[in-house]
Homo-oligomer: A and B are copies of this chain.
Amino acid sequence: MTTPWTLARRAKRLNPSTIREILKITERPGIISLAGGLPSADTFPVQALRDATAEVLRDTAGASSARAALQYAASEGYGPLREWVAADLNGQGLKVDADQVLITTGSQQGLDLAGKVLIDPGSTVAVESPTYLGALQAFAPYEPEFIALDGDDDGPLPDALDAACSASQRARFVYLLPNYQNPTGRCVPAARRLALVQRAAELQLPIVEDNPYGELWFDQAPPPPLSAAAGDGAVYLGSFSKVLAPGLRLGYLVAPRALYPKLLQAKQASDLHTPGFNQRLVHEVIKGGFLREHVPTIRARYKAQRDAMRAALAAHLPPGCRWQTPAGGMFFWIELPAQLDAGALLPLAVEAGVAYVPGSTFYPHGGHANTLRLSFVTAAPDVIERGVQLLAQVLDSALSGPLSGGNR
């Protein structure tokens, strides 16, 4: 730079989001995007939100809900919403008091706050490999070293946690996404959850559990969250983005009492509080049990789209491609034949009319060029079918052409 500005060292760890750059490309008309994790806009409860705004902005003399919603508010969040979250989580087996709930500006902010309060430059943080890119991006500016946990189709291996707690360097926490993980779609079975929690407790290794997709199950609910068994050894992150609408930017975290005050102070320093208007709006929508009726409609839609993608993948993808069928969430994770490079193929795919996210970006240490992520939540079944067909044509050409075996 030719300016007087000197960047902090941590700014080197900030980089453009690959996914957001891809999303810009895929906004071009005519491209079928299986790339972004955008919830289907058809699921947004517009009428319920419209009714709720009328209620929240009701301006009656004496006790104006509107004036309170538009004023500065407590950093902890709106009391009734915190109580709703605590009750909801207690129903899932967690033991949570409302005063352990911190409302955040999306659960992405929960990741940032955890990083701010827990990571020193050079600290290690244990993560799944692959894992949620947004978490890597939230933690990165606090300059950790990432330890990639070995795993299998059921999630990280409990023994892998030992490597995160060596004599020389103990990880500040392990970041886990047990339900329908982004990007792999994998759900950790109950026995593996308990084994992970037990091993983490033995190692005194704290857990940061991220659960944005838990409600998006198709046939049966996932096992209880890790935090239900981990007690004070876990911070739990949740979100309204997938069950209501992401544009409201409303999430929450639940923290042990020993940690809560520092997370709260970090929240104050970051944005004072999450918009009170949004908090009251969402509470107004959900307080009467709205989600009990609404979420099943999202599940049914995404399940049909999951089925469409499963059928299309089976019908069209060339031999040598591997995938698991996710039991919930938003994503298929595809392993291509080893000689293919999903990053190198992306421009050809976009030219052919379909976009995806190369898998390499989800790995804390890169590599794994032959993987990619497909979302089934944004497009309708017939569009999914067409998109997968286009992708298969690109892969077929690559397998029979000179790009096969290419390196990036």
Q: How distant is the Cα of A342 from the Cα of B188 in the complex, in angstroms?
A: 57
Of residues 307 to 362 in A, which have CB atoms within 8 Å of B's CB atoms?
Answer: none
Residue A386 interfacial (CB < 8 Å):
no
Q: How distant is the Cα of A15 from the Cα of B262 in the complex, in angstroms?
A: 8
Within the complex, what minimum Cβ distance (angstroms) separates A167 from chain B? 16
Tell which of B57, B72, B123, B233 touches A246, judged by Cβ atoms closer than 8 Å: B72
| Chain B residues within an 8 Å CB radius of A137 | 268-269
Q: How distant is the Cα of A245 from the Cα of B7 in the complex, in angstroms?
A: 33
Within the complex, what minimum Cβ distance (angstroms) separates A266 from chain B? 6
On whether the beta carbons of A14 and B265 are closer than 8 Å, the reply is yes
Residue A291 interfacial (CB < 8 Å):
no
Residue A189 interfacial (CB < 8 Å):
no
Residue A108 interfacial (CB < 8 Å):
yes
Contact status of A116 and B8, CB under 8 A, knowing A3-B232, A268-B137: yes
Of residues 155 to 178 in A, which have CB atoms within 8 Å of B's CB atoms?
Answer: 170, 172-173
| Chain B residues within an 8 Å CB radius of A44 | 66-67, 70-71
The digit string for A248-272, where 1 denotes a CB below 8 A from any CB of B, is 1100000010110110011011111
On whether the beta carbons of A4 and B262 are closer than 8 Å, the reply is no
Residue A34 interfacial (CB < 8 Å):
no
User: Which residue on chain B has the smallest CB distance to residue A57?
Assistant: B50
The digit string for A121-156, where 1 denotes a CB below 8 A from any CB of B, is 101000000000010011011100000000000000
Within the complex, what minimum Cβ distance (angstroms) separates A269 from chain B? 5
The 8 closest A-B pairs by CB, nearest first: A70-B245, A41-B67, A14-B265, A70-B247, A247-B276, A4-B204, A1-B258, A249-B275
Residue A69 interfacial (CB < 8 Å):
yes
Q: How distant is the Cα of A57 from the Cα of B44 in the complex, in angstroms?
A: 11
Within the complex, what minimum Cβ distance (angstroms) separates A136 from chain B? 9
| Chain B residues within an 8 Å CB radius of A305 | none
Copies in the assembly, this chain: 2
Q: With A7-B117, A11-B116, A70-B248 given, name 8 new contacts (CB 8 A).
A: A3-B256, A3-B258, A14-B117, A15-B265, A50-B57, A53-B54, A249-B273, A270-B270
Residue A211 interfacial (CB < 8 Å):
no
Q: What are 18 A-B residue pairs whose CB atoms fall within 8 Å in the complex? A: A1-B258, A3-B256, A4-B204, A4-B205, A6-B118, A11-B262, A14-B269, A20-B74, A41-B70, A42-B67, A46-B64, A50-B57, A70-B246, A109-B271, A116-B141, A134-B269, A141-B269, A249-B273
Within the complex, what minimum Cβ distance (angstroms) separates A162 from chain B? 15
Residue A120 interfacial (CB < 8 Å):
yes
Residue A75 interfacial (CB < 8 Å):
yes
On whether the beta carbons of A38 and B247 are closer than 8 Å, the reply is no
